[in-house]
Amino acid sequence: MQLGHLQELQDNLREVEEETQSNFSQFEGNIHLLDSIPGLGTTAAYSILVEIGQDMSTFPMAQHICA
């Protein structure tokens, strides 16, 4: 029963990952750039993009976004 539940969770995770990749396909370049930062993975890249967006004009200098 536990192995069946584990398989179901893995299937659900795979489905969510595929849906996320599909929804973010238009931001693939931005995701790739964020993912290239050491210590950040794809999940963190998605989170950053969702949190701050892709329009950096709201941040006059890099220090503003870092703060």
Cβ proximity of 53 and 46 under 8 Å:
no
Q: For the residues 40-65, what does the mean pLDDT come to?
A: 87
Indicate if the pLDDT at residue 53 is higher than 90. no
Helices 28-35 + 42-52 axis angle, to 10: 120
Indicate if the pLDDT at residue 13 is higher than 90. yes
The overall average pLDDT reported for the chain is 90
**Alpha carbon distances (Å) from 37 to 5, 10, 19, 42, 53:** 35, 27, 24, 10, 17
* Entry pTM: 0.66
Closest of 28, 52, 29, 48 to residue 40, by C-alpha: 48
Between residues 52 and 8, the one the model is more confident about = 8
Segments making up each domain of the chain, as ranges? 2-66
Cβ proximity of 34 and 45 under 8 Å:
yes
Q: For the residues 9-16, what does the mean pLDDT come to?
A: 96
Q: Give the model's pLDDT for residue 52.
A: 86
